[in-house]
Amino acid sequence: MPSRGCLLIVEDHALMRAGLRALLTQGDDFEVVGELDNGRDAIHAVSTLCPDLVLMDISMPGMNGIEAITEIRQRHRDVRILVLTIQRAEEFIHASLRAGANGYVLKDASHDELRVAIRCVLGGKTYLSPDVSSSVVGKFIGKGQERASTPWSVLSHREREVLKLVAEGHTNRSISQFLCLSIKTIEKHRTNVMRKLDLHNAAMLTTYAIERGLVEIRGA
């Protein structure tokens, strides 16, 4: 492992980014080569900044961390990715590992644990926070993927994008412009999401998204 790892921080909270930079640049172990607040920009930044490791949040606007990990892994097989999140639910842990993350750390971890996790992942190993249930990890390692499908797991990548944007308050028209798709296509995706999740209006979709950490309540 190189003596000085180059890190890219992807986190939508400015104070959290500043704190991580301050922590990780103490000493000579790590160099922070960039900071971003969304997954979509992270995909391009990996190509231009060439970090050794991406420290990735999950819940972010526009494109969430799991979607970004999937895209980064398809384009850059060698870059290491460590998830840093508040999400403890099994579905997020499984989805992150399946997408290609090399580690999963909770945001209430100590500073020392985070540094250990980064060194571990940079060294080619997998790191999982001790607070992540061993039974959850066992299911993933033993099965490779969850046997039983969940409503979330049957949504397509595009349907998940539409769900997130609806929950963030976007109209069908603004979603169509953002994703460069027709309004009819967005309406079809939205209908499919509601059918698959058995949810019947935008309020229910928003509640579902918030409960699963896809969007956050600002100013609460």
pLDDT-based confidence at 62, cuts 50/70/90?
A: confident
Residue of 53, 47, 57 lying closest to 11 (CA atoms): 57
Q: Which helix (H) or strand (E) segment is 6 a member of?
A: strand 5-10
Residue of 191, 159, 152, 161 lying closest to 64 (CA atoms): 161
For the chain, give every residue range classified as CATH 1.10.10.10: 152-211
CATH of 152-211 given 1.10.10.10, 3.30.200.20, 3.30.2270.10, 3.10.100.10: 1.10.10.10
Model pLDDT for residues 191-217, shown as the tens digit of each residue: 999 998 888 888 888 888 877 766 655
Give rounded-to-5 percent helix, strand, coil for the chain. 50, 15, 35
Residue type, 70: T
- Note the pLDDT of residue 147: 47
- Note the pLDDT of residue 64: 87
Of residues 47 and 142, more confidently modeled: 47
Task: Determine what percent of the chain is predicted with pLDDT higher than 70.
Answer: 86
User: Mean pLDDT, the chain, as a whole number?
Assistant: 84
Model pLDDT for residues 166-198, shown as the tens digit of each residue: 888 889 998 888 888 889 999 999 999 999 888
For domain 5-143, say whether CATH 3.30.70.60 is its number: no
Q: What is the mean pLDDT of residues 12-37?
A: 91
Which residues, 6+ apart, have CB-to-CB distance to 132 below 8 Å? 88, 93, 104, 106
Would you say 101 and 137 are in contact if contact means Cβ atoms under 8 Å apart?
no
How far is 65 from 58, CA to CA, in rounded Å? 4
Q: What is the mean pLDDT of residues 8-27?
A: 92
For the chain, give every residue range classified as CATH 3.40.50.2300: 5-143
